[in-house]
A and B are shown apart, each in its own frame.
Chain A
Amino acid sequence: MLVLSRQRDESIMIGDNIVITIVDIRGDKVRLGINAPSEIPVHRQEVYEAIQRENLRASRLAPSDTQGIGRLANRGTSNGQPTPPASRGIEPR
């Protein structure tokens, strides 16, 4: 791993379009400013990893698991909008 020392308000460039700036340092907390093109997602690592795990877990859900989900919906607050707006219906096996 490349390790660089920086002071407040100093920056690091990654490639020619990502700039990471040390905005503030307080105790053991560092605030970073990140300038990156919008197509490059920037995430806190632990949040991203938790979302990865949750997506993988959710991708194993079977249609039979979701039976009865309609009963959990708050029909009173539905604005009559179909959910979601897919045009094609499918029948689970």
Chain B
Amino acid sequence: MRITTTRFGRIDVDGSDIITFHSGLPGLEGCREWALLADSSNDALGWLQCTTRGDVALAVVSPRRFVPDYSVRIPRSELTPLAIDDLREAQVVVVVGRTGKKLTLNLKAPIVINLEARTGRQVVASGDLPLQFVLCSEQPPLKKSA
């Protein structure tokens, strides 16, 4: 499949790179099919590119690489639609945002991907986690949930 994107120009994606989000994502409910792409200029970064809207893409990272003490608890009911019993079977990524000049990570709503089934879902993690965790070179310890 060839898709035309605003960020990466025209790209060819294999069916095996496409992940289906059956419920879309909050705010982007119409975007159900996304291609998971590696950023060739940055090995810490990936992009979820919507296959139907070339202007919609989300930068994603593995949270543990940036926030080593991030331990995510997700209600089981959030995982059953993905046919995942245990988070260890899944790939968990978080969305990169920006506030002012600082990059942020959405630790409250990670994206869980069942790589085998190629399905994904943005879930709401339990506990008091920030939607905009500011990344800086000196990481403060992650606030523990109450």
Contacts and interface: CB of A to CB of B under 8 A. Distances in A.
A82 B43 contact: yes
Contact of A92 (B7, B13, B135, B139): B7
B46 A86 contact: yes
Q: Size class of A's contact patch?
A: 35 or more
B39 A90 contact: yes
A90 B131 contact: no
A50 B95 CA distance: 14
Contacts of A89: 37-40
A87 interface: yes
Nearest to A74: B68
Contacts of B14: 87-88
B136 A52 contact: no
A3 interface: no
B58 A59 contact: yes
B98 interface: yes
Contacts of A50: 108, 131
A80 to B, nearest CB: 11
A85 B58 CA distance: 15
Interface string B30-69: 0000011111111111110100000011111110111110
Interface in B15-43: 16-17, 22-23, 25-28, 35-43
A54 B132 contact: yes
A62 B46 contact: no
A92 B42 CA distance: 10
B42 A86 contact: no
16 contacts: A38-B81, A58-B59, A58-B106, A61-B57, A65-B59, A66-B103, A74-B139, A77-B65, A78-B65, A83-B46, A83-B62, A83-B93, A84-B61, A86-B37, A87-B17, A89-B39
Interface of B: 7-9, 11, 13-14, 16-17, 22-23, 25-28, 35-47, 49, 56-62, 64-68, 77-78, 80-81, 91, 93, 95-98, 103, 106, 108-109, 113, 115, 122, 124, 131-132, 135-137, 139
